[in-house]
Amino acid sequence: MKRLDKYILKQFLGTFAFTLILILLISVVFDVSEKIDDFFRREAPLDEIISEYYINFIIHYGLLFSALFTFIAVIISTSKLANNSEIIAIINCGLSIKRLLKPYLIGAAIIACISFYLNNWVLPTTNQIRLDFEQEYIYSKKNERYKNIHRQVKPNHYIYLESYNINKQKGFRFSYEIFKGQQLTSKFKSDFITWDTLKGEWLAENYNFRELEIDGEKINKGKSIHKNFGFKPEELVYQKNSTNLMTLPELHKFVKKEQIKGAQNIHFYFLDLYQRYSNPFTTFILTLIGFSVAIHKKRGGIGVNLVYGFGLTTLFILFQKISVTFTTNSDLHPLIAILLPNIIFGFFAYYLFRKAER
């Protein structure tokens, strides 16, 4: 790496770190002012506020907006070089704009790789700690009872619970239905089911089992029976954003398991999985857009570049949201929904770069 590359890379990464720290510190100040009453009312210990909440708060939002921070850093560092006429001097020395892009791509690669690792192996753990703290000291008591639970445990096998207590691992008014095509072939009902941790099975009480056969209907009743229904207590209730608490290997296993079951909301899990892989590409796209916007000196300086760049970034993020929303309400494949914004804005970033080269 040449001295020029090191100089630009140092400027870029230094601006990234400064922007990241400044914006996150401002966010922490606003969050403290909003939640300080909750901390005092719930008597949250200061060491836990810092170590369990705000450190993980910074990690969460730092990674969530890392691509945006990268974009801001590219705009600021490149605009400073342009305003100081350093870019003109570099080009006059015989270096092309394409060659000038190299240290920015190296910096984007460093940020993207670190963010990818932290997002997929570290963030799930820190998110769990942060959410547990929020549940304990900020929000109301964690919900223990869930109502009207519908699940597809495997293809054509459906369960229903009128209510379920996650602490007692006990459900009320349970039914298990098996279909063949549109035809119901069997139905198991019980007033209560309780998870037996020793046997690893469910204890069904006051049960009724109906099985439709060629020669008629077969009915079996009883007071209690142990049965393996093919699902465990933790599979009954998925907390909101539960996939955010999984590492990448865990998410792969979870999606594969749900796919085998034939889960109806499987596309939501695929969206999360594909999004994790697409985030690094978003970093590169925003880097190229920021570089192309700021490479030439403009009247108004950094401010004009930031406004123009933020307008493009807002369109990018809006298009991502629309694409995801569209796939949840249609048959659009989740992979296409994730790739489409990156492909469109990737070509647009390339167009801006080619325009900047002229």
Q: Are residues 133 and 50 in the same domain?
A: yes
- As a whole number of angstroms, the distance between CA 157 and CA 179 comes to 7
Q: Are residues 203 and 352 in the same domain?
A: no
The total of structural domains in the chain comes to 2
Q: Are residues 103 and 33 in the same domain?
A: yes
Residue 111: per-residue pLDDT: 98
Q: Are residues 132 and 23 in the same domain?
A: yes
pTM, entire model: 0.86
- pLDDT single digits (tens) 283-337: 999 999 999 999 988 877 788 888 888 888 889 988 988 888 887 777 788 999 9
Establish if 154 belongs to a structural domain.
Answer: no
Q: Are residues 121 and 203 in the same domain?
A: no
Q: Is 111 left (phi over 0), alpha (psi -120 to 50) or beta?
A: alpha
Q: Are residues 29 and 111 in the same domain?
A: yes
Q: Are residues 32 and 90 in the same domain?
A: yes
What's the mean pLDDT in 56-75?
96
CB 7 within 8 A of CB 37: no
What's the mean pLDDT in 201-212?
95
Residue 92: per-residue pLDDT: 87
What's the mean pLDDT in 107-119?
98
Q: Are residues 61 and 199 in the same domain?
A: no
- As a whole number of angstroms, the distance between CA 341 and CA 326 comes to 12
Establish if 149 belongs to a structural domain.
Answer: no
Q: Are residues 7 and 128 in the same domain?
A: yes
Establish if 256 belongs to a structural domain.
Answer: no
Q: Are residues 37 and 117 in the same domain?
A: yes
Mean pLDDT of all residues in the chain? 91
Q: Above 60 in pLDDT, residue 103?
A: yes
Report the alpha-carbon angle 128-132-135, nearest 5. 140
Q: Are residues 9 and 129 in the same domain?
A: yes
- pLDDT single digits (tens) 221-268: 999 999 999 899 988 876 555 889 999 999 999 999 888 887 777 888
Establish if 159 belongs to a structural domain.
Answer: no
Strands (E), the chain: 145-154, 157-165, 170-180, 183-196, 201-213, 216-227
- pLDDT single digits (tens) 5-35: 999 999 999 999 999 999 999 999 999 999 9
Collect all residues with Cβ–Cβ distance below 8 Å to 346 and sequence separation of at least 6. 281, 285
Establish if 248 belongs to a structural domain.
Answer: no
Establish if 272 belongs to a structural domain.
Answer: yes
Percent of the chain at pLDDT > 90 equals 67
Residue 347: per-residue pLDDT: 96
Q: Are residues 229 and 327 in the same domain?
A: no
Q: What is the CATH number of the domain that holds 175?
A: 2.30.30
DSSP per-residue string spanning 104-148: HHHHHHHHHHHHHHIIIIIHHHHHHHHHHHHHHHTSSPPP-EEEE
What is the domain range of residue 231? 167-235
Enter the tokens of residue 234.
């933790």
Establish if 190 belongs to a structural domain.
Answer: yes
What's the mean pLDDT in 198-219?
90
pLDDT category, 142, cuts 50, 70, 90?
low
Establish if 97 belongs to a structural domain.
Answer: yes
pLDDT category, 208, cuts 50, 70, 90?
very high
Tokens 């209907």 found at: 217
- As a whole number of angstroms, the distance between CA 90 and CA 97 comes to 9
**Stretch among 69-78, 96-105, 167-176, 294-303 having the lowest mean pLDDT:** 294-303
